[in-house]
Amino acid sequence: MANEGTILTAADLAGNGARGDDPDVHGKFGIFGGRYVPEALIPALDEVAAVYEKAKNDAEFLREFDHLLRTYAGRPTTLTDVPRFSERAGGARIVLKREDLTHTGAHKINNVLGQALLTKRLGKKRVIAETGAGQHGVATATAAALLGLECVIYMGAVDCERQALNVARMKLLGATVVPVTNGSQTLKDAINEAFRDWVTNVDTTHYLFGTVAGPHPFPEIVRDFARIIGVEARRQMLELTGKLPDAVCAAVGGGSNAIGVFHAFIGDQDVALHGYEAAGHGLESGEHALTLTAGSVGVLHGSRTYVLQDDEGQTIESHSISAGLDYPGVGPEHAWLKDSGRATYHGVTDDEAMAAFSLLARTEGIIPAIESSHALAGALELGRELGPAATILVNLSGRGDKDMGTAMKYFNL
């Protein structure tokens, strides 16, 4: 695909608006989504929604975003055929969408650049963000450095430890990293703390939300900024294979990389959409992050969605070897895609993900993020199911450099 010529359009950003898969005015995807937040934050959410609504139809904003995606993030990212890896998938043809090749090493940069530009339009000088694996934190710190914004990142103390490299990266980029020591000390608690900061500093601060969860309009905005993944991949698959894939696979934590790659295919009824959640030590162990496959409908972090919760609505702590999937909630659009049957969600254990992680490295020379390895493991099984005639697109959402500590421990390297 030519590097010039394909200027991002409003339709690329947000679809054509007539597909019936945009939320209603209250941010509802069917019964999911909405806003369950302190009233103090409503004006800020309204402001973000209004500024975004204007920006997404503004040629100047689209041009700026497109320019950054192209010249800074390194888009479009390529597709890669992985024939040696595919041999283990019953011969089905697996094609990777290489988000790992973007600047900062994961798909998170797409959303972050879009929201950083919005922050300027909001007239705010400070951004805050939560991070689990550290990829969203690094991306946010990067965009903040690029655009001259003050940046504070909230990160669970447990995650700070298992992703120490990313903490150092954020600091080097000029961000302040605040370890969150309450609750489970992971992503969900970092989100709570970021909301507390936001309600206190909302006049000066934009909460640069990192996934398609949270109160309206975040699920819609983050999806739209991540949507470029699927828009590109759909065109590229047609160029590469002459047809659409039989299935699209992605890992699901909060769900932004998955929505990003799924969304452009939602209207293509013959393309199956498969999301893979972290099954951790397995469903029976109780130590997992199977929000969609084993959770129930509730409210978490401002949105109605599937939640890992007990019989009285207390959030249950999730587990995954991958910090980026270690979250007891999920974006409301995924909840809606699940209930409507348009997408199917499965669990992949720590061990299955680590086997796929190692396999891709050894067969193709690509070290994937452990998050993305869940989708790879899912694709291996799906390929064996669908047979050698099938083509499967996998969103390789990030690279595995950040996971070397975990890999060293897991494989005794």
Q: Which residues bind another protein (CB under 8 A)?
A: 26, 34-44, 182-183, 188-189, 191-192, 195-196, 199-200, 202-203, 296, 298-302, 307, 309, 311-315
Q: Minimum Å distance from CB 346 to another protein?
A: 25
Measured from the CB atom, is 184 or 372 closer to another protein? 184
Preceding omega of 328 cis (within 30 degrees of 0): no
Measured from the CB atom, is 38 or 405 closer to another protein? 38
Measured from the CB atom, is 10 or 41 closer to another protein? 41
| Distance (Å) of CA 314 to CA 187, 299, 309, 310 | 16, 10, 5, 5
Q: Minimum Å distance from CB 251 to another protein?
A: 24
Q: How far apart are CA 108 and CA 93, in angstroms?
A: 26
Contacts for 163-166: CB closer than 8 Å, 24+ residues apart:
163/133, 163/134, 163/323, 163/402, 163/405, 164/405, 165/134, 165/401, 165/402, 165/404, 165/405, 166/131, 166/133, 166/134, 166/135, 166/137, 166/138, 166/402
Q: Which of 64, 130, 232, 381 is catalytic?
A: 130
Measured from the CB atom, is 16 or 200 closer to another protein? 200
Query: Are 212 and 330 a contacting pair, CB within 8 Å?
Result: no
Q: Which of 64, 277, 397, 402 is catalytic?
A: 397
Q: Minimum Å distance from CB 40 to another protein?
A: 3
Q: Minimum Å distance from CB 127 to another protein?
A: 18
Note the helical H segments in 208-264: 218-226, 228-241, 256-262
Q: Minimum Å distance from CB 49 to another protein?
A: 13
Q: By C-alpha distance, which of 372, 287, 302, 405 is closest to 82?
A: 372
Q: Minimum Å distance from CB 147 to another protein?
A: 25
For this structure, is 171 an active site residue?
no
Contacts of 389 (CB under 8 A, 6+ apart): 92
For this structure, is 130 an active site residue?
yes
Measured from the CB atom, is 254 or 298 closer to another protein? 298
Measured from the CB atom, is 252 or 300 closer to another protein? 300
For this structure, is 108 an active site residue?
yes
In sequence order, the β-bridge partners of residue 126 are 150, 205
Q: Minimum Å distance from CB 192 to another protein?
A: 4
330 three-state secondary structure:
coil
- Could you say which DSSP state residue 203 is in? T
| Distance (Å) of CA 407 to CA 134, 366, 375, 403 | 16, 14, 17, 6
288 three-state secondary structure:
coil
Q: By C-alpha distance, which of 330, 326, 336, 344 is closest to 299?
A: 330
What's the maximum distance between 2 C-alpha atoms anywhere in the chain?
A: 56
Q: Which of 97, 108, 338, 402 is catalytic?
A: 108
Measured from the CB atom, is 15 or 302 closer to another protein? 302
410 three-state secondary structure:
helix
Q: Which of the residues are catalytic?
A: 108, 130, 397
